[in-house]
Amino acid sequence: MNVERMIDSLQSIDSYKRYGKVIRVVGLMIESKGPKTSIGEVCYIHMGNNKQKIKAEVVGFQEENVLLMPFTYVKHIAVGSLVEATHRALEIKVGPSLIGKVLDGMGVPLDGSPLPRGLFRYPSENEPPNPMERPRIHESIQLGIRSIDSLLTVGKGQRVGIFAGSGVGKSTLLGMVARNSTADLNVIALIGERGREVLDFIERDLGEEGLKRSIVIVATSDQPALMRIKGALTATSIAEYFRDQGKNVMLMMDSVTRVAMAQREIGLAVGEPPTTKGYTPSVFAVLPKLLERSGTNKNGTITAFYTVLVDGDDFNEPISDTVRGILDGHFILDRKLANKGQFPAVNILKSISRVMNDIVPKEHRQAAERLRELLSSYVEAEDLISIGAYKRGSSKSVDEAIQMYPNILAFLKQQVDEDVSYEEALQRLLIEFGKDER
């Protein structure tokens, strides 16, 4: 039976190689006459006497011509260069031996070393799990950050957005999560980062211990738009592979905004019309498909954190709105809190975890709500308090908030190298805010 199947497979193989020729290059786009191929497939473009060839992906068609986008910047493509069809989409190699490695957007080690042995081929683009096969989130996961574990509890398989402007502490927060969480391993995608910041993150924020249980995928800002998108897809595919092995994976992507910008570049290059703030329609089609790939399935979980770079601290710009509507919660990093020296600068009152109420006990939920009420009362009266215009006794809730504010501030602050377990965070929350004595 197996022999017959193998014979049928061999007979169905196309033994011909199909070629086309480059006819035009405009900006990021290479246009060729042929070969016969489909969107998403990889082609090789031969340069100079066919001694060198580069990979490119089919991203569209213009009448009868094929539109290609290369994975690397090229200088030696000429009119008439051969384009070879592979009839395959991009595949990466994955396996446990990748843990501790730093890879590029195509899954190749950045230090130039060969890939380890024993890896398996895995597609870079997969469909999200069937909604009916996604188990409900019913168990919390420890992140090692007191304010989040106690007030914004995250569940295994939850997807959360971290929204912040530049320089408010996104990378530092991700580094703390990577070092302190109870996930089986971390998959970290640095998309569109400055080249200088890559080693800074790996050595300072992630650290040696964090790298030992992580796989880092890097696509810096100087690389082509297609390579930045492939970095996000490769990281998600690696996380999916380990999830299918029954692991609880922590996926962190910094940042999804730069993925959207890369897709905008590709969309504009193939002729899509710019819509909201210059973003093309394909951006708002790609984001849900990418973000929905993480989460739970019948084998394991991917708990995902996606950072959103908020331009000008405008939390209502198009990408922020879209991502916030897709994910299962959002953490707002507030520049005002960072300027006051509160780190991590998570604005508890503006942040939400949509699954927290389903995964924490009643006592935990009540204590978290009481802390929020106290903090909200203080923030509302903060201007009067700071100028001395508030008179004690005017409001019982504000009086109590003023009394408890030092405890709240001490609870929310945490040193970068401080590891707080979920049990420690919960115990302190219940002791200090668990009993309402009003």
Q: Which residue has the higher pLDDT, 234 or 6?
A: 234
Angle subtended at Cα 397 by Cα 394 and Cα 403, rounded to the nearest 5 degrees = 95
Residue type, 249: V
DSSP states along 156-178:
TT-EEEEEE-TTSSHHHHHHHHH
pLDDT at 383: 84
Q: Which residue has the higher pLDDT, 427 or 90?
A: 427
pLDDT at 31: 92
**For residue 387, what is the enclosing H or E element?**
none
3-state DSSP assignment of residue 259: helix
What average pLDDT does the segment 119-131 reach? 91
Per residue in 283-301, pLDDT tens?
999 999 999 999 999 999 9
pLDDT at 11: 57
Per residue in 380-426, pLDDT tens?
988 888 888 888 888 888 999 999 999 999 999 999 889 899 999 99
d(CA 438, CA 435): 9
User: What are the extents of the domains in the chain?
Assistant: 18-89, 92-359, 363-433
Task: Please check the confidence at residue 4 and state whether its pLDDT lies above 80.
Answer: no
d(CA 334, CA 169): 10
Q: What residues are paired with 331 via a beta bridge?
A: 162
What average pLDDT does the segment 347-352 reach? 95
d(CA 78, CA 24): 8
What average pLDDT does the segment 218-238 reach? 93
Class of 92-359 in CATH: alpha beta
pLDDT at 438: 42
Count CA atoms within 13 Å of residue 233 on its CB side.
Answer: 25
pLDDT at 283: 94
Q: What are phi and psi of 422, to 5 degrees?
A: -60, -40
CATH of domain 363-433: 1.20.1270.330
pLDDT band at 32 (very low <50, low <70, confident <90, very high): very high
For the chain, percent of residues with pLDDT exceeding 70: 94
pLDDT at 243: 96
pLDDT at 435: 64
Count of residues in the chain: 438
Chain center to CA of 86: 30
Q: What is the mean pLDDT of the chain?
A: 89
Q: Select 18-89's CATH number: 2.40.10.170, 3.60.40.10, 3.40.50.300, 3.40.50.2000.
A: 2.40.10.170
For the chain, percent of residues with pLDDT exceeding 90: 58
Task: Please check the confidence at residue 305 and state whether its pLDDT lies above 50.
Answer: yes
What average pLDDT does the segment 301-314 reach? 87
Per residue in 64-110, pLDDT tens?
899 999 888 877 788 888 899 988 888 899 999 999 999 999 999 98
pLDDT band at 29 (very low <50, low <70, confident <90, very high): confident
For tokens 């009993």, name the residue.
435
pLDDT at 437: 45
pLDDT at 6: 67
Residue 356 zone, left/alpha/beta (φ > 0; ψ -120 to 50; rest): alpha
DSSP E strands in 10-51: the ranges are 19-26, 29-33, 41-47
Asked if 53 and 47 touch (Cβ cutoff 8 Å), the reply is yes
pLDDT at 236: 96
3-state DSSP assignment of residue 162: strand
**For residue 319, what is the enclosing H or E element?**
helix 318-326
Residue type, 423: E
What average pLDDT does the segment 48-76 reach? 84
Q: Helices then strands (H, E): number in the chain? A: 15, 17
pLDDT at 102: 94
Task: Please check the confidence at residue 20 and state whether its pLDDT lies above 80.
Answer: yes
Task: Please check the confidence at residue 182 and state whether its pLDDT lies above 60.
Answer: yes
Task: Please check the confidence at residue 275 and state whether its pLDDT lies above 90.
Answer: no
What average pLDDT does the segment 292-319 reach? 88
What average pLDDT does the segment 156-178 reach? 91
What average pLDDT does the segment 339-343 reach? 88
